[in-house]
A and B are shown apart, each in its own frame.
Chain A
Amino acid sequence: MLSNSNNLSKLYLSVIEDVIENMRELILDEGLEDRVLEVLKQLWESKVMQSNAVDGLALVKNTINSSNFVLQLPPNYGQNFTKPTASMVNPAGQNVQSFTTKNNGGTLATFSLPPGVTYPVQIPAGVTLQTASGQLYKVNVPVMVTQAPAGQCPLPPSQLQPRQRVPVVERRDLCSTSLQPAPVVPSTVPKTMAPLKTEPFTPRPVACPNAVPQTTEQKPLIPLVPLRDEKPVVPQPAVQPTVQGNHVLQSEAPPVQAPFSLHTQMSFQPPYQPPLYKSESPFDSGHFTLDGIDFDSPKPIDMSLTSASTQMQSLQVKMETVLPDGSAFGASKVAAEETVRQEGHGGTADMSTHLEGLPLDASKLEMALLKDYNYNDALADIIQLDGPSDSSSDVEEFEEEMGGAIGENDFLGMMTAEALQALQEAEESSDDGKSSSGDDSVGMDEVTVEEDPLNSGDDVSEQDVPDLFDTNNVIVCQYDKIHRSKNRWKFYLKDGVMCYGGKDYVFSKAVGEAEW
């Protein structure tokens, strides 16, 4: 496909040239500088080359027939040649080229291109250059020989030492395109060997030698790196705006993220706040009754309130672990808030009975229980509890069985050993009596769980459609005829540009068959 790639690159170049030329007048009419066109052209070409869609983008700019380039060799290859001739395989299709080599020193070998071979010259990997004296130079890495401005001096060997070892000794696993950095970096009077993609291209070959920018001179100094690393080096002027843009974007990102984090944090706080606040409110009022008992001392209660609420929550966690199948009041699995409310609600009547049974010297405990009662009451006003979590019947059963024992869902401000034991007893006894209600609650959960997958199956999967049409392998063309016979389709296409496997192809005619 080398010929095709060459044709393709020529085609692309010609298109670019046509567009730029046609735009020149319009640009001048607009009053803009010609420089804008050059910038556009450079941007465009660099992007096309970066895309790697065209293999061997041999942008033939120079048509100078005879030219010399210096192949800089590592010191251990420094041998004196007296005008040997080298043959190499020219990937452009000419099998044997004769090169005359001169040796300007121990580390330089000069090759000259014969007439008919124009720059840039691709030397793919594995090519062996042979001099007339029989010396072989094997190119391990694809090399592109391009033309450099006149007046460039060969770089001193000291500067090239780090790289001299590279071309022969190292073997780089680079991609097979010839858009690779040259392993050897010559720079002599007219010619330099340089990475192709870093060289800007000039439109008119005749005027080239002096027109090629000085950046080629610096290219030999660029250490050999894989293709991707060099990308940020080359289009620096073009990259900077985008880099700035990226920076702008990045700077915008954290502020955007911050509110979200704050929001998420905030969202978690409220569920845990109400127990504290709501429980305090009844006490703030200062007076409430519980089964005919008046309690009118908010102050000492405030001290124990916060501790009571936190202990309630800790107790809730304990109770949840102790009662994994849910409480008699159908504690839901969703939110701690709901469980707190449900269990608290379930504990109200229990507390009433418990209060009657407890000695009155445990004032703190009573206050905590009362707080719990009011807290649960307040919560119950807000939340509507469904059948399984309805605690009325459960309370009655509790009273019958427990005889005043603490309900399993009670939240006690002060946990004593006795209360814990009572809790455990209540749990054991409640399991027998509340199995039915527990099963109902579990059953409800199961039903809801089953319904979701069932309902979700009704949805038509629309995701396949956008994914189906989102592909990198695209052919853009015109059709002459599209024929179908039952489920056999035949396509007669023309003037198409194809991109598949990351590479570009073109065709003037395409014929295809497919079965649907």
Chain B
Amino acid sequence: MAYQLYRNTTLGNSLQESLDELIQTQQITPQLALQVLLQFDKAINTALANRVRNRVNFKGSLNTYRFCDNVWTFVLNDVEFREVTDLVKVDKVKIVACDGKRASYTCVMILLFDQLLDTPHL
């Protein structure tokens, strides 16, 4: 079971929108859409773990921090993202980070909570 964390990305959101359109036109069932999303979770987690090899540094000021259900949520202001090649400055950024060590256990618990409470974690 992989983190559903990455569904709130450009890739994930565009997939969800596409699935919503297909559901509306009744080309697929909601259950099938859920299966697609689960496959997406696996694929993106695998891809990020295996196919990405770059490093980023950033520096800024911390506005808020939150740690709940083993998920850190930060809001930083005036952040500079520095990669090898370039530098990008952003006035506000939100970081949502799940536990990288106990991935499977934590995400299962989060999934269970989400299903119980019927609330998406993000």
Would you call A48 and B52 a contact (CB within 8 A)?
A: no
* A499 CB within 8 Å of chain B: yes
B1-50 interface (Cβ within 8 A of A): 3, 5-6, 8-11, 14-15, 17-19, 21-22, 24-25, 27-29, 32, 35-36, 39-40, 42-49
Say yes or no: A504 contacts B9, CB within 8 Å. yes
Contacts of B86 in A (CB 8 A): 1
Contact in complex: A19, B18 (CB < 8 Å): no
Interface string of B45-86 (1 = CB under 8 A from A): 111110111111111111111010000111110010101011
**CB-nearest residue of chain A relative to B59?**
A513
- Helix, strand, loop or mixed for chain A's interface? mixed
Select which of A11, A51, A477, A510 is within 8 A of B57 by beta carbon.
Answer: A510
Q: Which residues of A contact B114 (CB under 8 A)?
A: none
**At the interface, is chain B mostly helix, strand, loop or mixed?**
mixed
Does B103 touch A at the CB level, under 8 Å?
A: yes
When C-beta atoms are compared, the residue in chain B nearest to A493 turns out to be: B97
Residues of A within 8 A of B63 (CB): 468, 516
Q: Is the CB of A241 within 8 A of B53?
A: no
Which residue of the partner chain, among B14, B29, B59, B90, contacts A51 with CB atoms under 8 Å? B14
Say whether A478 contacts B53, CB under 8 Å: no
Q: How far apart are the CA atoms of A36 and B32 in the complex, in Å?
A: 11
Interface string of A45-76 (1 = CB under 8 A from B): 00110010110000000000000000000000
Whether A48 contacts B14 by the Cβ 8 Å rule is yes
Q: Is the CB of A476 within 8 A of B5?
A: yes
- In the bound assembly, the distance between CA atoms of A19 and B64 in angstroms comes to 36
Give which listed residue, A43, A473, A478, A498, contacts B22 with CB less than 8 A.
A43
A495 touches B49 (CB 8 A): yes
CA distance A472 to B25 in the complex (A): 29
B35/A15 in contact, CB under 8 A: no
CB contact between B40 and one of A19, A27, A497 (< 8 Å): that residue: A19
Q: Which residues on the A side are within 8 Å of B46 (C-beta)?
A: 18
What are the interface flags for B81-98 relative to A under an 8 Å C-beta threshold, 1 for contact and 0 otherwise?
Answer: 101011010101111111
> What is the CB-to-nearest-CB distance from A126 to chain B, in angstroms, rounded to a whole number?
20
Q: Is B100 engaged at the interface, CB distance under 8 Å to the other chain?
A: yes
How many A residues touch the partner, as a band?
35 or more
Q: Determine how close the nearest CB of chain B comes to the CB of A510; give it in whole angstroms.
A: 4
Are A509 and B8 touching (Cβ within 8 A)?
A: no
Cβ of A20 to closest chain B Cβ, rounded Å? 9
Residues of A close to B22: CB separation below 8 A: 36, 39-40, 43
Q: Are A238 and B85 CB-contacts (below 8 A) given A506-B48, A511-B57? A: no
Query: What residues on B are CB-neighbors of A515 within 8 Å?
Result: 61-62
Decide: B97 and A500 in contact? CB cutoff 8 A: no
Q: Is there a chain B Cβ closer than 8 Å to A479's Cβ?
A: yes
Task: Name the B residues within 8 Å of A500 (CB-CB).
Answer: 81, 88, 90, 93
Contact A47 B17 (CB under 8 A): yes
Also in contact, A44 and B18, with CB within 8 A (given A507-B54, A512-B60): yes
- Given the known interface contacts A40-B22, A479-B72, A505-B56, the answer about A14 and B95 at a Cβ–Cβ threshold of 8 Å is no
Which listed residue, B15, B53, B95, touches A44 by the CB 8 Å rule? B15
A contact set with B: CB distance below 8 Å: 1, 4, 7, 11-12, 14-16, 18-19, 22-23, 26-27, 30, 32, 36, 39-40, 43-44, 47-48, 51, 53-54, 238, 241-242, 245, 468-469, 471, 473-480, 482, 489, 491, 493-501, 504-516
- 6 new A-B pairs (CB below 8 Å) besides A500-B81, A512-B57? A1-B85, A14-B47, A479-B100, A497-B11, A504-B9, A514-B59
